[in-house]
Chains A and B, each alone.
Chain A
């Protein structure tokens, strides 16, 4: 808004002085994206974070060895700092990697002469050391645990070392430097999942000079090779990212079917980022953010239920359109998210753990489709297997069969469980890790339906920390939970019921089934294909029969963008910002 006022004042003056000077000024006008962040960030030091609020920002400031393709689906790994995808040796144990040349860190006083230097193999080794360092990384280590030769031994050494000790003289056997741009990584076993670990934000490459110079302040003083730079870091204010002119990335030339027709490939080959500035204010409350978007002050927003019902009309058969009054102003998108929600049953519970019929009955009392329709306006999919739709190995590929809402069947099962008409059945407790309106509505919805089969439910709303504590201590009967994909593979979801992952791992129902474990162990390192999917089917069938968890929703994510934002395609694994273009003339005009 201030820009508008300034132009109005200076335009007449400019016209007086030199009419020609006004047009070039306008052509050089910086392209500004205004996007709200809804969560604070923990740290901008890649190795010290693994939350969504930090991850997005880290990926704007730093680069990793691998990334995900922006446009192609299903999600696919592409090289970022590497020149090409790593080459796998014949024995499937060693990856040969070649770095791009000419990738430079941004200029910063930590470098000699203040000039950012070229990124090389030593930086990759430095990143690996920090990633494995138990004094630094406690959040994302699991992704490489046991994968690289010698890395776990290094981690053990860091655990015993003093907090400030420098362990660089310890060799890591699995990492071999060939020259300044080539290196190899040796794995402990054949592991197709390993490459995903090179695409998570904690493995972004950082310069040792910056870490040594800024120490604790490094987490708010980023020095990277990413598409954007950040000069002033405010935790709760507006972050103003500026384009890094030496960034190595270019706009992709390959897309998914249909992308070319939508105009998503018209900038193919152009140097990134396309925007000059990204302004990201922190807006945690939904109402202020919604109001700002509707006034044209934000370029993009996720759509929550309230705004969805107001602005979007379902066309049936999975298509959605904006209501007429908004159609000319905004564009919408939707995609299946990377998270699944499910309700876990405590297999150690004296009543439910031993009574399979009762668990099966409960599963048939969850009217997930009804809940999606009433409480979520249809923005979700009732899961048939534990894998979300966007990943390979999901139910469409494995042919999984889900459990349907079926009150008569539930009643029969309750009787078979020994409680005809629910007589003698104690009240069951359902726990939630939140108490906002949506959670309460979800429980109320469930409670009414369970009552129809004689099953009485009572609820316990807890705040998240207390909830986590209770499910880990197995202090619950039934608990509502969810999982977000750490990487784009179904194994990340099947491991949720692996018996070796019981608390404090994510298998909080404490499900322990030998057949399931066998299928999981066999399939976890396989490549996707019919053989692997046969194991998935085994696991799906076991879950369907034993019901340690009741599968619920893979949500459909909706969002809305202003008409002046171009090239937008929602990507859950790779921030979109560097690919976006802004029509500043239209943005200046605003929504009036």
Chain B
């Protein structure tokens, strides 16, 4: 069932030129991330030139060097890997959690729904930035805690959408029939309702990924960044100091890479929503 939806979605995306290009771009980023996990990306700590050289026509110095002579281009690639990791980790936390809570709230109603509603109202009442910083303090620094913190603020949207869908489907004939036949609630949720709310989750996934990547930049700027390695947020933070000296290439390179990823995610997310939403079209 999920496979069917995925195939239908991708198919409709592929047919139109603009989403097709964006899908390809996303594919490239996924590839970069995979290469990174397999340790096949070029070494970001190696010195490839002098301090703060301008760009030149070699792979390593495509975007020039930073203060320690390291390749900006390689670091941007590593930043892409970090971005994809953060995006995927956050999404992997948000979607299952939000969907599960949404299902529970929509299906069981009553006290369960009231509790979940209370929970999300409390979370939503605290400004995102404060919640994320507080969680980072409590859980220590690092990639995982940052993803957890971003996830803590993003699950509400997914939960509410799924809950809405569940409420819509709860009284449909096929569900009532299954219940009459004595099928247990969990099985009904998984086999009947879940596939129908999956499209919501898929569309939200793109958005969560996108916002996680953007959030990382701001959080790094506020000092809550990752520990090892590098990220786009770190690159931008460092590049901002050099701008006054007319050293613009690290900033331009990082912004371009971020732009390509987020733009593609936006287009693909929009297209997915159009393709999967039964109302539109």
Contact = CB atoms under 8 A, between A and B. Distances in A.
Contact of A374 (B51, B141, B225, B241): B51
Interface in B177-197: none
Given A447-B45, A460-B141, A437 B68 contact: no
Size bracket of the A interface: 20 to 34
Contacts of A309: 245
A481 interface: no
Interface in A27-78: none
A460 B242 contact: no
Contacts of A436: 223, 237
A290 B242 CA distance: 12
Contacts of B67: 374-375, 441
Contact of A463 (B68, B223, B240, B241): B223
Contacts of B201: none
A535 B227 CA distance: 42
Contacts of B68: 374-375, 441, 444-445
A306 B241 contact: yes
A306 B244 contact: yes
B227 A459 contact: yes
Interface string B221-258: 00101011000001001101111110000000000000
Contact of A435 (B51, B223, B240): B223
A212 to B, nearest CB: 39
A458 B228 CA distance: 8
B137 interface: yes
Contact of B137 (A291, A445, A466): A466
Interface string A289-304: 0110000000000001
A448 interface: yes
B270 to A, nearest CB: 36
Interface string A400-441: 000000000000000000000000000000000011110011
A196 interface: no
B227 A307 contact: no
A260 interface: no
A433 to B, nearest CB: 11
Nearest to A458: B228
User: Which residue, B45, B67, B137, B223, has most C-beta atoms of chain A within 10 A?
Assistant: B67
A461 interface: yes
Chain B binding surface SS class: loop
Given A375-B67, A447-B45, A437 B237 contact: yes
Interface string A278-321: 00000000110011000000000000101101100000000000
A232 interface: no
Nearest to B225: A435
Given A436-B223, A437-B238, A306 B245 contact: yes
Contacts of B140: 466
Contact of A440 (B141, B234, B241, B245): B234
Interface string A155-183: 00000000000000000000000000000
Size bracket of the B interface: 20 to 34
Interface string A358-378: 000000000000000011000
Nearest to A291: B244
Interface in A369-389: 374-375
Contacts of A291: 244
A22 B68 CA distance: 57
Interface in A442-462: 444-445, 447-448, 458-462
A458 to B, nearest CB: 7
A461 B67 CA distance: 20
A287 B241 contact: yes
A462 B244 contact: no
Contacts of B228: 458-459
A493 B125 CA distance: 49
A311 B278 CA distance: 63
A287 B240 contact: yes
Contacts of A437: 234, 237-238, 241
A152 B228 CA distance: 48
B227 A460 contact: yes
A461 B234 CA distance: 13
Contacts of A466: 137, 140
Contacts of A459: 227-228
Contact of B245 (A310, A461, A462): A310
A306 B245 CA distance: 7
Contacts of B45: 444, 447-448
User: Which residue, B228, B241, B242, B243, has most C-beta atoms of chain A within 10 A?
Assistant: B241
Contacts of B223: 434-436, 463
A17 to B, nearest CB: 46
Contacts of B237: 436-437
A306 B247 CA distance: 10
A460 B227 CA distance: 6
Contacts of B227: 459-461
Interface string B69-109: 00000000000000000000000000000000000000000
Nearest to A437: B238
A286 to B, nearest CB: 7
Contacts of B244: 287, 290-291, 306-307, 310
B93 to A, nearest CB: 23
A184 to B, nearest CB: 51
Contact of A287 (B137, B225, B243): B243
Contacts of A448: 45
A461 B225 contact: yes
A461 to B, nearest CB: 6
A272 to B, nearest CB: 35
Contacts of A310: 244-245
B141 A462 contact: yes
Contacts of B141: 435, 460-462
A76 B209 CA distance: 61
A294 to B, nearest CB: 9
A306 B227 CA distance: 24
Contacts of A458: 228
B186 to A, nearest CB: 42
User: Which residue, B68, B140, B243, has most C-beta atoms of chain A within 10 A?
Assistant: B68
Contact of B241 (A286, A444, A447, A460): A286
Nearest to A288: B244
B24 to A, nearest CB: 34
A447 to B, nearest CB: 7
Nearest to B51: A374
A461 B224 CA distance: 9
A437 B240 CA distance: 10
A444 B230 CA distance: 11
Contacts of A434: 223
User: Which residue, A310, A437, A462, has most C-beta atoms of chain B within 10 A?
Assistant: A437
A436 B141 CA distance: 14
Nearest to A287: B244
B139 to A, nearest CB: 11
A436 B68 CA distance: 15
Contacts of B243: 287
Nearest to A461: B227
Interface string B119-150: 00000000000000000010011000000000
Interface string B198-228: 0000000000000000000000000101011
Give the top 9 A-B pairs by smallest Cβ distance, nearest first.
A437-B238, A310-B245, A306-B241, A306-B245, A290-B244, A287-B244, A435-B223, A461-B227, A435-B225
17 contacts: A286-B241, A287-B243, A291-B244, A304-B241, A306-B244, A307-B245, A310-B245, A375-B67, A435-B141, A435-B223, A435-B225, A437-B241, A441-B68, A460-B227, A461-B225, A461-B227, A463-B137
Given A291-B244, A435-B225, A444-B45, 5 more contacts: A441-B68, A445-B68, A459-B228, A461-B227, A463-B223
